[in-house]
Every structure is written in structure tokens, then in C-alpha cells.
Amino acid sequence: MQISVIVPLFNEEESLPELAAWIERVMKANALTYEIIMVDDGSKDKSWQVIEKISAENPCVRGVKFRINYGKSAALNTGFKYAQGDVVITMDADMQDSPDEIPALYNMIADEGYDIVSGWKQKRYDPITKTIPTKIYNAAARMMSGIQLHDFNCGLKAYKNEVVKSVEVYGEMHRYIPVLAKKAGFSKIGEKIVQHQARKYGVTKFGMERFLYGFLDLLSVSFMTRFAKRPMHLFGGLGVISFFGGFCIVLYLTVAKFVFAQYRMTERPIFYLGLLSIVIGVQLFVAGFLGELISRTSSDRNNYEVSKLLNIK
């Protein structure tokens, strides 16, 4: 099978028949073998009944239903688990992603050798209250991840099958699958300008809080990709810097007291800054040490991704 299309959804009963028919037309026009995996993330409307009806008419459509709403990351991770296509394409169910983009995305993976291709909605049909925070968020994501993508949050992406089998998407990390994939060794990441369409049915399921959560998740994934197996490098390093700074302050005040006899140490406000720096330094060092102990005793401490073997049995 050439393509698996994964569609996470929540309360999208109106758009599903049109979306499935559109994908089917594109696949037949380009002679592509495919499957559509619709992951119902605990919808309260008739989305699952619609999926059952579509699947009865088109056996290429498969479905997964959650009992409750777990979020987009959980839906994608489950879809990745069942995907069989050589290329896995993710898209939203709200009709804002165009299935007409699928053949070009597939070719970039299959023919040009990309591991991941991310869509870039260069022209968006969103209010300014959404577009400006999006630009700021994407700039921060590029700076902290080192991956030069214009639109991390675009739901339209294409992956090699081995990429989605090598990453675990949890929490709200669906925005950072390219970062997780890069950590797993898939570094050929491309970008394609894609068409963004105005929402035709329903209402958006995301509010302004997603930008706050997205930034917090960015901090989490940045830490996990850089220091998950060596937390002492971060906390220990910061602790040593803080402790050394505080020690220098206290040393200066000690010399000033006994050599120049200017002030009592406790009368100087900087004394308390130095004392605080020493305490924080010790705490950070201990946090790094405890993190190192946890990392060393975890079950996957020596779990490494091996891509190929030669003459190894």
C-alpha cells in the first residue's frame, strides 16, 4: 500500500462524507493505493455512525473510536500504530486541508527522499487574533528546535512509515512531531506551501489557550530532546554557575569586611543575593543528581534506534 491518510476528528459529522469522497477522487485520479484511518476522538455527535456508513461504501476507510476525548496527539499516535502505507499523511477533518495536496506530498517522500514534509499555510483564512500569535509561536519554535519550518502547527504533513513507527506522540506534542523525529535520527525535513481553506462546517475546537500550552510543550520537548538522558548537564551546569556566583559575592564581602573594615556583611543587600545564589545552586545540583539517578534506572536507558544491520544475527 502506498499511502495511509490519518484523519483525527472530534464532532465533525458534517464534513466527513465530503472529505472521504474528495480523498477517494484524488487517489483514483493518481492511481494510488491507499487507506483512510479516521480516529474519532470521543465525539459527542454522530461522527462514528457517519464513519461506519462511509466504510460500508468504501472498504479503504477504516475507523478507530475513543470512549472519551483524549486529544489530537493521542488520536495521531493511535493512527500511526495502525498505518500500513509506505507514506503516512495526516490532515484535519474540518476541510481546511486540501486532499489535492496529497500526490505532491507523497512524491516528496517517495521520490525525493524526505523523511518528513510539513505543510506551510502561507496564506491563511484566519482572524488576525490567531495569525499574529501563530507567527510569534512559530518563530519561537524555530529558534528553540533548530528546525526551519514556517508552520509547525499545520495538520497537513507527510511522513515515511518508519518515522511514525519510531516516535511516540503524547500530551499535546503533535505540534512537535518533526522535533521528535529529528531526535530519532530522521533529519531530512522538508516543507511545502499548501492551500488553506476557510472552515466550511462546524466550529474550531482550539482556543487562545493553545498558544500558552504550545509554548509550554515547546519547553518540554526541547528539554526532553536535549537533556532527557543527561539531566545533570543542564541542572548541574546551572547549579555550578549559580553556586560559583554566590560564592564570589560572599568572598568579596568577606575580604571587604576584614581588609577594608567597611560594613558588616549582613548589612549589605548583596549578601542575601549571594546567599540565595548558593542555596539555589545547591538545589539545582541536587535536582540534576536526582534526575540522573532516575534516568540511569529507567527501563529504556539503553534503548537505541537501530536502522540497519549487516552480518548481525
| pLDDT at 279 > cutoff 90 | yes
pLDDT in tens, 90-101: 999 988 899 999
Rg (alpha carbons) of the chain, rounded to whole number = 25
pLDDT in tens, 56-111: 999 999 999 999 999 898 999 999 999 999 999 999 998 889 999 999 999 999 99
Domain with 52 in it: what CATH number? 3.90.550.10
| pLDDT at 313 > cutoff 60 | no
Considering the domain architecture, whether residues 223 and 149 belong to the same structural domain is answered as yes
| pTM as predicted | 0.74
Residue 175, in any domain of the structure: yes
Residue 307, in any domain of the structure: no
The whole domain housing 272 covers 231-297
Mark which of 227, 262, 282 sits at the end of a domain.
227
| pLDDT at 305 > cutoff 60 | no
Instruction: Read off the pLDDT of each residue in 10-29 and give the average, rounded to a whole number.
Output: 94
Three-state SS string across the chain, please?
Answer: CCEEEEEEECCCCCCHHHHHHHHHHHHHHCCCCEEEEEEECCCCCCHHHHHHHHHHHCCCEEEEECCCCCCHHHHHHHHHHHCCCCEEEECCCCCCECHHHHHHHHHHHHCCCCCEEEEECCCCCCCHHHHHHHHHHHHHHHHHHCCCCCCCCCCCEEEEHHHHCCCCCCCCHHHHHHHHHHHCCCCCEEEEECCECCCCCCCCCCCCHHHHHHHHHHHHHHHHHHHCCCHHHHHHHHHHHHHHHHHHHHHHHHHHHHHHCCCCHHHCHHHHHHHHHHHHHHHHHHHHHHHHHHHHHCCCCCCCCCCCCCCCC
Residue 122, in any domain of the structure: yes
Considering the domain architecture, whether residues 142 and 24 belong to the same structural domain is answered as yes
Considering the domain architecture, whether residues 133 and 281 belong to the same structural domain is answered as no
Considering the domain architecture, whether residues 242 and 215 belong to the same structural domain is answered as no
Considering the domain architecture, whether residues 22 and 44 belong to the same structural domain is answered as yes
| pLDDT at 145 > cutoff 90 | no
- Pairwise CA distance, residues 227 & 296, whole Å: 13
Instruction: Read off the pLDDT of each residue in 152-175 and give the average, rounded to a whole number.
Output: 88
Q: How many structural domains does the chain have? A: 2
Residue 161, in any domain of the structure: yes
